[in-house]
Amino acid sequence: MSGSVVKLEEVHKSYRLGQTSVPALRGLSLELRRGEFTALVGASGSGKSTLLNLVGGIDEPDSGRVLVEGTDVATLPDDERSRLRNQKIGFIFQSFNLVPVLDVFENVELPLLINRRIPASERRDRVRAAVEDVGLADFARHLPDQLSGGQRQRVAIARALVADPLLVLADEPTANLDSVTTHRIVDLMLELNARRGVTFFFSTHDEKLMSRVARVVRISDGTVVS
User: Are the C-beta atoms of residues 99 and 152 closer than 8 Å to each other?
Assistant: no
Binding status of residue 46 toward ligand ADP by CB under 6 A: yes
Q: Which is nearer to ligand ADP, 142 or 218 (CB)?
A: 218
- Binding mask 8-47 vs Mg ion (x if CB under 5 A, - otherwise)? ----------------------------------------
User: Using the rule CB under 6 A, is 24 a contact of ligand ADP?
Assistant: yes
The yes or no reply on residue 48 touching ligand ADP (CB under 6 A) is yes
Alpha-carbon span 97 to 54, nearest angstrom: 19
Cβ proximity to Mg ion, 22 vs 118, nearer residue: 22
Say how many residues touch ligand ADP, by CB under 6 A: 12
Binder of ligand ADP out of 28, 32, 37, 49 (CB under 6 A) = 49
Does position 49 interact with Mg ion (CB under 5 A)? The reply is yes
Say whether residue 225 binds ligand ADP (CB under 6 A).
no
Residue from 2, 19, 20, 44 in contact with ligand ADP (CB under 6 A): 44
- The minimum distance between CB 222 and Mg ion, in angstroms, equals 12
Q: Considering CB distances under 5 to 8 angstroms, the limit depending on partner class, which of ligand ADP, Mg ion, none binds residue 22?
A: ligand ADP
Contact 131, 161 (CB under 8 A): no
Query: Which positions touch ligand ADP (CB under 6 A)?
Result: 15, 17, 22, 24, 42, 44-50
